[in-house]
Structure 1
Amino acid sequence: MKIASWNVNSIKARLANATDWVREARPDVLLLQEIKCQDADFPVLEFQSLGYQVHAHGQKSYNGVAVLSREKPDAVRTRLAGDDADEQSRYIEADFGGVTVCGLYLPNGNPRPGEKYDYKLGWMRRLQARAAELLAEERPFLMAGDYNVCPLDVDVFDPIGFAEDALCWPDSRRAFRSLLNLGLTEAWRALHPTKVDYTFWDYQAGAWPKNNGLRIDHFLLSPQLADRLVSCEIDRNPRGREKASDHTPIICEIAAAA
């Protein structure tokens, strides 16, 4: 099972890039973040013509997540439990043959301190609660997407410059480690323990040509899927294209159950 995650930074603005990449990469499942459109405005037909089912959970102009899949999911669920007042579209789950795939767009949290950072930490606590529920069910699952967290200093091009940023602040990293401490495996780092690479490069200050990036897009795997992990790679190619998203895809391959 080949699963990809990509913050596209507006599916309408990146549609040509997204469809080109899907034709080339052919993931079984593609999790999208920051689609920035309402469900009715998602370009469903363009992806259906490529052989994909589309399930979107969006909102006007901001946020939004989606699951694209070559096979019809057994079930799809949206929203993250724990805050009935939360109207931001940031979470989606889909079941595929005994595996639950969770796509997420975690809040940025800046400026910190403040209301936005409090929302980020609260959202991470809710995500941890959902992970604990899935672990208790002993169901194979993964949680993938834009976490807006650099787990370690090696995951940011300028650790000193980003020391006060919500993406690198100790409480953010502590909340991320709390997910791992439940028994989850961070797929890319598990396979590349010493490698330096990034998934995001800002549009400003020549970040892309200078390779001034951040690694903030992650796959977290339950123990059952960690045992089946084959590969996890960052595909830099889309970031170098015309009208690129500021993120690039990350792809995880999971072997079939024995």
Structure 2
Amino acid sequence: MKVATWNVNSVRTRLDQVTDWLSAHPVDVLCLQETKVIDADFPKSAFEALEYHTYIYGQKSYNGVALISRQPLESVGLGFSAVLAPETVGNLDDQKRVISGVLDGIRIVNLYVPNGSSVGSEKYGYKLRWLALLKQYLAQLLAENPALHICGDFNVALEDKDIHNPEGKEKHIMSSPIERQALSDVLSLGLADAFRKFTQAGGHYSWWDYRTAAFRRNMGWRIDHHYLSPPLYERATECTIDVEPRRLEKPSDHTPVVVEY
């Protein structure tokens, strides 16, 4: 089985890029983030033409996640509220950032973690609350199924080697100590980074800012991850970052990351 994660930064804007990539790399499940479209306007037919099933959870102009699967998924859940009580979730499902489904007994969770804007801001506090709730959500899923695969745009570089230049990381969004600790708390459920199973070296990134010719200069961050529960981590045989889509004209600022069992 192959599962890919890709923040496409508008699925309609980059539909040809996504479908071309999927045609060339027919993964079993493609997890998209920042689809930026309401469900009624999601371009389902383009994926159906490739014989894929679509499961979507979107909103206009912002956020949005989708699962694109070669086989039908079971037990598809939208948002934290699919698992947790409304009073626990509060307003954290107002932004469409969580979708999951089961394929061959594996629960695949696709996430778009809030960016947080800047350290200490109101959006930063929202991000930390969101990550705390994510831990509760995943703990419940793990109690139901030990085969858990979590992927997506986490907007956190967990280690210094995940950043082209970690200088000033303590004050930088996506690398502040509190954000890193919040994500580490989530991973303490027993989840492990699939990419680091195979590659320990730095210099591998999945996101490059559009500004300052960051991609050409490889000034990137590794913030798109696959985290696996122990049974799946043991089965993982490869995890790679495909930089080619980032070379295209008007690409997403992210590129696909693929894991294989």
Q: TM-score, normalised by structure 2?
A: 0.94
* AA at the equivalent of 2:25: A
Q: Map 1:188-227 onto structure 2 (within 5 A).
A: 188-227=195-234
TM-superposed CA distance for 1:135, in Å, is 2.4
**Alignment size in residue pairs:** 254
The answer as to 2:158 corresponding to 1:151 is yes
Paired with 1:125 and 1:240, the residues of 2 have a C-alpha distance of 35
Deviations 1:71-112 (A, max 9, x none): 000121011143232310000001112110000000001122
Deviations 1:105-139 (A, max 9, x none): 00001122021011101111111112212222343
Deviations 1:30-75 (A, max 9, x none): 0000000001111100010011000110000000000000000012
> Where does residue 129 of structure 2 map in the other structure?
122
> Where does residue 146 of structure 2 map in the other structure?
139
Contact 2:132/2:186, CA 8 A, preserved across alignment: no
> Where does residue 96 of structure 2 map in the other structure?
89
> Where does residue 12 of structure 2 map in the other structure?
12
Contact 1:98/1:139, CA 8 A, preserved across alignment: no
Deviations 1:184-212 (A, max 9, x none): 11100121122420000111010010000
> Where does residue 65 of structure 2 map in the other structure?
65
TM-superposed CA distance for 1:242, in Å, is 1.1
Paired with 1:51 and 1:161, the residues of 2 have a C-alpha distance of 47
> Where does residue 246 of structure 1 map in the other structure?
253
* AA at the equivalent of 2:182: A
Local SS of the residue matching 2:211: coil
Query: Which segments of 5 or more consecutive residues in structure 1 lack a partner in the other structure?
Result: none
Paired with 1:69 and 1:135, the residues of 2 have a C-alpha distance of 22
Paired with 2:196 and 2:174, the residues of 1 have a C-alpha distance of 17
TM-superposed CA distance for 1:160, in Å, is 1.1
Q: TM-score, normalised by structure 1?
A: 0.96
Query: Which segments of 5 or more consecutive residues in structure 2 lack a partner in the other structure?
Result: 82-87
Coordinate RMSD, CA, aligned: 1.1
Local SS of the residue matching 2:91: coil
